[in-house]
Structures are given as C-alpha cells and as structure tokens.
Structure 1
Amino acid sequence: MTTETILYICIAGVISLVLALFMYGYKTKYSKSLRWTFGILRFITLFSLLVLLINPKFKSETYSVEKPHLPVLVDNSASIAELEQTDNVSALLDKLKNNSALNDKYDVSYFSFGNDFGELDSLSFSEKNTDLSKALDATNALFKNETAPTILATDGNQTLGRDYEFSSATYKNAIYPLILGDSTTYTDLKIARLNSNRYAFLKNKFPVEVILVYNGTGSVRSQFIISQNGTTVYRETVAFSENANSKTLNFTLPASNVGLQKYVAQISPLEDEKNTTNNTKQFAVEVIDQATNVLVVSDIIHPDLGALKKAITANEQRTLTIKKPSEAASLLNDYQLIVLYQPERGFAQVYSEIKKLKKNTLTITGTNTDWNFLNGIQQQFKKETSLQTEDVSAVLNKNYSTFAVTDIGFNDFPPLTATFGELRVMVPYETLLDQAINGFETGNPLLATTELNGKRDAIWDGEGLWKWRAQSYLQHDNFQEFDGFIGKLVQYLASNKRRSRLEVSNETFYYNNSPIKVSAQYFDKNYVFDSRAALNITVRNVETDKRTKFPLLLKNNFYEVDLNSLPAGDYQFTVSVEEEEIARDGSFTILDFNVEQQFLNANVSKLKRLAEKTSGTAYFPMKTDALIESLITNDSYRSIQKSELKTVPLIDWKYLLALIVLTLSAEWFIRKYNGLI
C-alpha cells in the first residue's frame, strides 16, 4: 500500500470513531453497556464501509515449483506390429510409468500418433499411415516455451506429411528417439512407388510410372508384370546391382473398356526375400467415355487464369482451354461450361452464341470488367459501379444447399478486388459466398448460383483467386481443399442433370489407407435442404454378401459417412431416408494396399540424424534403462521455482462484506431484543 492510502485509512478510522461517539456517547438514553455495544458495532460498520470506498490494494507473492515436461510420443501405426515391436513399446511404457525418480523429476505426458496426433489412451497398432512431422509439430506447439525433452518411440518410417528430419529445424527441445526395429539389412525387391492417372478416356492410352528398388548385395534379375483379371498386359525384365539399385519404368496401357479397370503390379520375389508383401501393388483406373470440357474466355492475361486451370484440371475427368473472345465464339458447342473472365465489349459475339446454345456459364468480374456492357448484354445480374475499387472478403453461407460444400478457410483468405457498387441478381439465386468488407457483411453476394429453365449460371464478383489457392496451400500443405471447392462448383455448372431430392456423391474406387467417405444431400418437397432427416447407408460386400448398415452424420449442409472400417473388396450400397420411400444405389471398390507393410526395418540413420540435430541421443529398446538414467542425471533439465506477485483490491475480499452484514445484523437483533425497535 502507498503512504497516501494509509493516510486515507487513518482518516477513515478517525471519522468512524467520531461518528460512533457522537451517536452513542453524546446525550443518549441507552444504558452504559448498550452504548458501548452499539458504539463498537457502529464504528466497525462505518470504518469497513469507508475502507471499501478507499479500496486499498494488497500485494501477495506465491511460490511454486515447476518440473520440466517430458512428452512421450508413441508410434501407433501398423508397421510397429509388422516389425514385432509391440512388446518393446509395452515394456517402455511400464518402465517410464513405474520409475519414481523419473516421475519425481519430470511432468511426464503420453501421446500417440499415426494418421493423427492425440493423447495416449490405448494402443492398437492399427493406424494405416504414419505422420511423424505432424506429431513433432504438434508437440512443439504444445511445449513451445517450456523445457520439454521428448522421447520418440518409433521405427522412423513415415508415410504421410513433410519429411520429419527437416521439421527438426523448428523443434526447440532435444529429441530422444527410441528406435523400434533393428538395423539389419535384408535382401529385398519392392515396388517403391506406382503412379498412374485416376481416370483415362476410352480408346486412349494412359501412362504408368513404376519405381522399383533393390536392397542387397550382388547382381539380380527379376520379372516385372502387370496383369488384369489374370491376363498379363505388360512384362519387362529388370536387372539390379549394388550400385544400380533402382529402376524407373515408364510405359502406357490401353483403355479399351469403359468402367473401373483393376490391375495388379508385381515384381517377382527373390529366393531369400524376407518381406514379399511389398512386391505387389494393386491399382485401378476408371475409363470414361468423354471428358468434361471447360472453355475460359478472356481478353487479358491474369494469374487467376493459371489458378483456374490448375484447379479445374486437378480432376483428370476435366479439360480446360483458354481462348480470346474473337476465337471462342465459333467453338462454344464443344464445351459443357463457359467461364467468362472479366467480360468487356469484345465478348458481344460470345454472349450471342451462349444465348443461342443455352450454355451454362461462370462469370468472374473484376477491375477490368466493363459493367456498362455487361448490364446491357444479359439480364441475370446488374451492378451500378464506378471506377473505384474495394477489397472484399468471403463468408461461407452455411445454409447453401444447391450442392455440398465445406468451409476451406474462407475467413483466413486474403481479400479479392472488386469494383465499388452493389451487385443485384435479377433472377432466383442462392448465395454460396457472402461479401464482407473489413469484417462486416454487406448483404451482397460474392459468389452466387442460379438455375432457370434447366440452365445453370454463376456470378463471382472479385478477382485475385490465385491468392486464395496460394493461401490454401499455406494452410493445408496442399492445393486439394481449394481445387476441390472449384471442382464442385464446376461439376454443378457443367451438368444439366435434373436435380433429385436425394443426391449421393462417392468415388468409384478407394485405397484402403485413404479416407473412404460417401456424402449425400436430402431435400424436402420444396427442394430445401432438410437437416432433420435420418439417412442410412447399407453396404453389401459383393464377394461375401455381408451387409453392414451405417448412419450418415450431418455435416454443415450435407450428410457424410466414413467407411474406413470396411476391408478391401467390391461393394454395392444403398442410401435411404428413414420414413421416406427415397433411396439411391451405387457401388465402389476398395483396393488393398497397406503401406505400413512395406518396411523391413527401422530407419535408424534418419532417427539418429534427428537426434543429433536436436542435441538428443538415439537408443534401442535394450538401452531403455540407459535412456531413463540419462534423463534423470541430466542437469540441463531442472525444476524451476516460480514466484507470482498478485495485486488484490480489498473490494474483492468477501470477508469484509460479511463483517459489515454481521455487525448490522447484530445491532438490529440487539435493538429488537431490548425493545428498541
């Protein structure tokens, strides 16, 4: 407390004493004992009230001891079981949990990782992928400003994410890998990677790239074969040596039949191979009769055009061509969707042909758009604008129901550039993205879709889409989120298929180490999305005839189910709505590929480099006791005594308020008892 506050408290005490003496010591008719009693109670009451008005502040200092953290990250992927290391993991956890000296020194916390990262509950060693970089990044974020040496129990074999060895550059604490698996090198031939298109066009040829790797001594020869339904469609003899231990094969296969075409790639195993699982890999290609052709008409060069081309053609079922207005007018009949990028007067003939052919369109406007021309050439939307521009951001309309769409992080995207003015859509429409300026929604659509007399159109009022695609990559480490959003928009606009009350979306085939998801949308009789419906999917395995029923869960404006629990095989499914006679049938194939079975041993050298870069040390399971002992005796990791200074105002002290209530109540009861009230 300051000297000034102490002075105020003294003055408050004097004032309280003077008032109490005046009330009960000067010309009072009460007895002496009552005068003293009432005087003391009144003094306490008045003094307490005045002190509350002064509200002095008291400082209190508390001390606490904070132990260093010790996160333990355990690999829960299937490769741990394949390498027969589950017992070593259990032994490690038992030793860590039962070592009192270690637990006295450290605040130990346990996490598991595979596809995802989370607190350790139980271990199944069934995760189909390993993302070590995600686990290290998450741990680094959790203990960013803490002393937290990290035990990493893993085989070091990563199947997802960035290379974890390079993620160590941002890791602030030492990593102590416990290497699960041996360093013995076995003779092995494997298909390290197989790349092929997901789609191919009928009567064309599609490329296949295969990378074969040999580990061993001496020279060997083997046969690489690709077969379909037991028939060999490609064969090649390959030779390897210690120096030439990898081969890349590039060839094409014919797309002769429409539909899903499944293939088996195999490199014939050597006699002394320990792991032959990685000698075989299944893959599939869906052969389609024709592609969805998209034409972009633009009279300017802009980065948006490149972003659109990359996003649209990310799906191999689609092709995209960019033409100037003077070249495009005679070509429109060859395309299912026309993208009009920043139209101006040179687009007049294009608009005339679009009206004649009733082509679906996506209009993207920006600073180079001639709105006077655009307002007169079509009647779907209008904008009274000036030469001024403004930055506009996007807000997803979660009630949009024309097709299923998820939020890909629109709130974090940089603003687009549009001309100043109000956009008015003159026909029935649905807003997909609302416009916002400086965080406030304007009520104007940024992206809206219309459907009238079987013709589908969209207006996107803003340029700078290339920045959105770049930001999406920074957020997700890939372009899939943004490309998927553009793909759904193009898929809707390029189709004239009549809308039904139950729409189902699924892939023709999945790999069983990837998400297997089926989504659906259900609409009421007025074609308004119904979020109260109960949807189920019944899946039948074609080979075993086993039927399994799953509920579809509501997710924003669509329903979705994850079928990752299903084994590999061919499936037929029916999506139905409870209490409604509405259903949709379909089929898909799950291809068997367990990437976690491809490894023969631990990646010892990489884990040792990770330890060195973070000032840690790598250990094998038989040295677990040495790891624990080194952590216990390491003086770099010490408990820290922290002091916390708190300033507490007296008005927060509830006991003083209770004292005031108590003194006033006591005075009232004494008066009542003596008949003075």
Structure 2
Amino acid sequence: MNTETVLYIILSGVIALLLALFQYKYRSKTRSIFLTFLRFLSLFALLILLVNPKIETSQTYIQKPSLALVIDNSNSINYFKQEAVAKQLLSEVKSKTAISDKFNIDYFTFGETLNQNDSLSFSEKQSNISAVFTQLQQIYANQTAPTILATDGNQTFGTDYSFVSKNYNQVVYPVVLGDTIKHSDLKIQQVNTNKYAYLKNKFPVEAIVVYNGKNTINTTLTVKRGNTTVFSKPLTFSKENTSNVVSFYLPANKVGVQTYKVDIGAINNEKNIQNNTKNFAVEVIDEKTKVAIISSIAHPDIGAIKKSIETNEQRQCDIVTPEAFMANVNSYQLAILYQPDNTFKPVFNTLKQTALNAFIIAGSKTNWQLLNNENLGFSHDITTQTEEFQAQLNPGYSNFIVEDLNFPSFPPLKGVFGDISFEKNHNILLYKQIGNVITESPLLVTTESNGTRNALLLGENIWQWRAQSYLNTSSFIAFDNFTGKLIQYLASKKRKDRLVLDFNSFYEGNTQVVLKAQYFNKNYEFDAREKLTIYLTNKQTQETFEYPLVLKNNYFEIDLSSLSPGNYDFTVKAVNSNMSKSASFKILEYNIEQQFLNADVTKLTQIATNSKGGLFFSSNYELLFNSLLNDERYKPTQKTTKTTLPLINWKYLLAFIVFCLSLEWFIRKYKGLI
C-alpha cells in the first residue's frame, strides 16, 4: 500500500470523526458516545470504499516437478505381446512412493491422439508419436517435466517424431516395448494404385517389396482377385538386393468395387507373416466427368482449380479458350467461366441453348456489364474500384454436405466493389467478411432453376486458399474435398433428393469409416429435427448393427471405424418421415500396426540422446527410477503468488456498514430520537 493511499485513509478517518461529532455533539441534544462511535464507523467505512485501497496477500508454496508417463496404446503393443510389460511399468510408477513424493505424476496414453488417462486397451489402430511431443510441449511449456515414453517406436502416420522431438524442451526417457533382435523378414512395404479405373481399360499397380536378411532367397509375388490369380512374378532378394519395385497393369472388366490381394511367399522361419499380404481395391466406373475451365487470361487460379478438381480420378479438367470450348461443348458436363470478358458472349449463348451447368468466377478483370446483360438471374453494381473480402461459411447451407475449412484464416479474395442482387432463388454458401465484420453479402452462391445448376464466386486468388489450407492441415485434402463436392453438385442434373448420403465405396482398414447424411423437408430445407438411424448387415457373417446418426452443424454423422473388415449393406432411415436410402461399402482388411517386426531402437535412442535423457528396457525399471530420483535437474522450487484484492470487492465491509447504520437507527428509534 503506497503512501498516498495511507494519507487518504487517515484523511477519511478525520473527516468521518468530524462529521460524527458534528451530528451528535453540535446538532443533537443527545450526546451519546456510542451513537457517535457507530456514525464514525459507518462514515469511515463509506469513505474507505471511495478510496478503495488494494490489499495484497502473498502465499508461498513448494512446487514439485511434473513427471509425464506416456504409454503406447496401439495395437502393435498387443501384437508384440508387450501389454503385460506396459501394464507393469504403469503399476510400478504408481506404487513407487519415492517417485510420487518427488514428482507430480501425469498419466497419458496415445494412439492417433494423446489422451490424459491411465486406461490401457491396446486397441488403437494408428500411432502418432509426433503428436505426443507437440501436445506435451503446450502442456508443459513453463514447467520442468521429464517424460517417460513407453513405446515400440514404430509410428504409422504423422511427422517424423525424431525431428519433432528436437523442439520438445523436456528430458525424454524412452522405454523400449518390443523385440530388439533382428530377424529375417520379407514384407510388402506399399501398394500404389489409382482409386478409380474405367471400364475396359487397364489400371497401373505398383508393389514395393522389402527384404531384411543376409541369405539369398527366391520367392513369388502373386496378385489375386477372389480365388483367381491375375498376376504373378518370381523375385530374388539378397543382402545386397533388399528391395524390389514391381509395376504391372490389371484389366478393369467389371463395374463396381474390385478387391485384390497382393501376397509375397514367406521365407523359412519367418517370424512375422502378417506383413506378407496387403489388400487393395479399385472402383471401376464406366464414365468420366469432364470439366472445362474457360479463360482468355492467364492466372494462377486456373492451375490451382484444375489440380484440385483432378485429385478425384473420376474427373478430367481441360483449360480452354472460349473458341476451343465452342468447338467441343458437347464433351463437357460443366463449364467454369473464369473472369468472363467480351469474348465470352457466344459462350453464354451456347450455355443457354444446351442448358449446360456453369460456374462463374468473377474478379478484377471481369466484364460485369456483359454479365448483367446476359440475364443470368443476378445484377452487380458496375464500378472501377476493387475490394478484398474474406469468407465465412453459412452453417445453414444445405444443397450438399460441406465442412468448415476455417475460412476466416484464409487470405482475402479480390473482387469488384459494389452490391449484387438476385432475381431468382439462390443459396449462399459463403458470406463476405470485411475485417471482423461478417456481412450478409454473398461471396459464393449456388442457384438451381429448371434443372440447371449454377454457381457464382465473387473473387479471384483462390489459389491462395488452397495454399493456406495446406498450411493449416499439412494437406490439400480438405480444400480439394470442398472443391470436389461443389463440382459434383454442379456437374449433376439429378433432381435433389430429400435424403442425401455421403460415403466412400471402400475404406482402407487403417482409415476412419465416417458416413454423413442430410435430410430435407418437403420444401427442401434442411430439417435438424429429424432422427436418422443406420441399419448395417455384414454380408459374410449376416451380423446386423443399428446406430443413430449424430447431428453436426448442417448434417448428420456416424463413425463406423469400429466395424471389422468386410462387405456391408446398409440402410439409412428417417424415423419420423419413414424415408430411407440403401447402399453398400467395403472395409479392406489391413492392420498397419502389425506390419512391424522390431522396436525402432535407433530412433528412440536418438531422442533420448538429443534430450539428454536415457534409453531403458523393461528389464531395468529400477535404473530408470534411480536416474529420475538422483538427477539434480529435478528439484522442487519455491514459488510465491501475490494476490491483489480491491477493498470494494470485500463483501463483509458492506455488511459491516449496513450493520452499523441499522444498529444506530434502532437505538435512535428506541430512545425516541426519530
């Protein structure tokens, strides 16, 4: 409390005393010392509230360092038969009194993500060790927290954890779970193929086979569809020749999902034969959607849009001039008009004659006078000024299922300043956001009239969106899926269904199986009140399942990743309206966690060395505990916290003022002074 505040408190006491004396010594005939004292206390407390001094309190405490015990909960621990070892480590850390006295222990498990718990099931289908270091760095940013990492060191997805761990500011003690002895092994490292193939064509397949051993061996690579062998090739491996890339073509003779099994013959006494086979599937289709990007200018948007569209192998995208498009208009199912100018006049005439769906992308070089005169159902103010707008997703958009890509984080698009008006029904997919203000003006709009579907984007530089999406998620997949759904909607002339399903024809065994659905009322408005239920049947076992779909934003969703591999028929039913839709999908058999033979001791040793920790095995837990207990880096620290509380927040002072004034009033009333 500073000197100025103390002087104000003294002055308040003097003023309160003078006022109390004035009331009961000068003005009142009754000179009561007790009443004078009560009035003094009341006035002094009120004046103190006006001064509002701040009361500081200090609290000193001892903070122990934290200890993070992180255990691999993936299926590979079970496959290596190390589940008992992992549970023993957990049990010993919990029972070790000396450890709990020195550290605050936090328990974590990890598979695809890091979870704060001590429940071990070893059922996770993926392991992402890099996520452990990334998330623990945030948790222990300002603490001392040595980390025990119990794992086999085999990561199935994510960034290389030996690189990520360099930014982790804590000491790491890896505990190796798994076999460290090198065994001879032959495995199919990877199978590369297209997701789609076209009827009566051949599609490429590439199989990468890896050998770990010293002897020369001969084996055969075979590919089967059902019980029929469609390809085989003899292979030879040795200590010097440890890998082989086999490329070949297979025919696509039947429409639908075709499943294949790649197998490499096992060698004598091979310990792990799970990695000798790998399944893959190809969906054979008999038609390819062709999209034309029509432009008379060069712009990076054009290449980005083409790349985004063609990530789906069902689609082909051509970049053409207006003249070239006119010559082959019947070859396309969708026309993307990029910043139309005067040369697009015949293009618009042809689009009206053929009723071809169109996607117009406008920007700073767009001729809005031409667009306004073409009676396209909208009219834009004609100005020479440009403006930049960011995007905000309309959560009520319901023409197709769309997920938020964190659009406010994307760079702004550049367009022409002015308002736009629509003459027919339109659905806004993205709103314009200017600064922090979300406007009601559209940025991306879709329209549907007389069987024709169109879209309008009021900004250029969408290539920057694709780049930002990669920075946000380390992948183009999210943005390309968004583009793909928009193209799929625009390229179709089918009448809108009231029950729409979004799913894949087949899923890899190590990926998430997620199905989404939308339900619309009779006015084709998304109805969140409906209840959707999915009924599944495994074709092989005839086992049936029933699950409700969960409402999420403007669609329903169900995660079916717990299903075992196989072929499934399913029906999604709207309970209240008794509407349903049926389809099927396939889950391929593949457990990536069972593809490893040994623990990755090399990488675990590397992160232990880089963090100045140590590598330990299940046979020497006591060495690990002694290292933690005797390390001088892990000492408790004394910390002091100061709390500043303004007196005006002290409720008891208000109660004291009320008490004094009330008591004074009752005494005066009792003595007849009022």
In structure 2, stretches of 5+ residues that fail to align are none
Summarize deviations over 1:265-295 as a string: whole Å, max 9, x none.
0000012101111101111101100111111
Q: Who is 1:2 aligned against?
A: 2
**How does 1:101-500 map onto structure 2 within 5 Å?**
101-500=98-497
Summarize deviations over 1:518-548 as a string: whole Å, max 9, x none.
2111111111111000111110111222211
Q: Distance in 2 between matches of 1:648 and 1:442?
A: 42
Summarize deviations over 1:193-222 as a string: whole Å, max 9, x none.
111111001111111111111111111110
Q: TM-score if structure 2 supplies the norm length?
A: 0.98
How much has 1:436 moved relative to structure 2?
1.2
SS at match of 2:203: strand
Q: Who is 2:13 aligned against?
A: 13
SS at match of 1:421: coil
Q: Is structure 2 residue 15 aligned with structure 1 residue 55?
A: no
Cα distance change, pair 22–352 in 1 and its aligned pair in 2 (3 A): closer
Q: Is structure 2 residue 20 aligned with structure 1 residue 23?
A: no
SS at match of 1:638: coil
Structure 2 counterpart of 1:332, one-letter code: V
The match for 1:613 among 610, 634, 653 is 610
**How does 1:31-70 map onto structure 2 within 5 Å?**
35-70=32-67
SS at match of 2:418: strand
CA contact 2:530–2:576 (8 Å) conserved in 1: no
Greater alpha carbon shift after TM alignment, 50-59 vs 300-309 = 50-59
How much has 1:106 moved relative to structure 2?
1.6
CA contact 1:523–1:529 (8 Å) conserved in 2: yes
How much has 1:62 moved relative to structure 2?
2.1
Structure 2 counterpart of 1:25, one-letter code: K
CA contact 1:179–1:604 (8 Å) conserved in 2: yes
Greater alpha carbon shift after TM alignment, 20-29 vs 326-335 = 20-29
How much has 1:675 moved relative to structure 2?
4.2
How much has 1:16 moved relative to structure 2?
2.0
Q: Distance in 2 between matches of 1:586 and 1:298?
A: 39
Q: Who is 1:82 aligned against?
A: 79
How much has 1:28 moved relative to structure 2?
4.6
Q: Distance in 2 between matches of 1:272 and 1:27?
A: 112
SS at match of 2:19: helix
CA contact 2:413–2:460 (8 Å) conserved in 1: yes
Summarize deviations over 1:382-418 as a string: whole Å, max 9, x none.
2113222111011100000111111111121111111
Greater alpha carbon shift after TM alignment, 454-463 vs 211-220 = 211-220
Greater alpha carbon shift after TM alignment, 569-578 vs 378-387 = 378-387
Identity of aligned residues (%): 46
Q: Distance in 2 between matches of 1:648 and 1:545?
A: 68
CA contact 1:385–1:422 (8 Å) conserved in 2: no
Q: Who is 2:588 aligned against?
A: 591
Total equivalences in the alignment: 674
CA RMSD between the two structures: 1.4
The match for 2:97 among 86, 96, 100 is 100
Cα distance change, pair 172–561 in 1 and its aligned pair in 2 (3 A): same
Greater alpha carbon shift after TM alignment, 638-647 vs 324-333 = 638-647
Q: Distance in 2 between matches of 1:232 and 1:668?
A: 104
CA contact 2:395–2:554 (8 Å) conserved in 1: yes
Q: TM-score if structure 1 supplies the norm length?
A: 0.97
SS at match of 1:386: coil
How much has 1:144 moved relative to structure 2?
1.8
CA contact 2:415–2:459 (8 Å) conserved in 1: yes
Summarize deviations over 1:619-638 as a string: whole Å, max 9, x none.
11112221121111111122
In structure 1, stretches of 5+ residues that fail to align are none
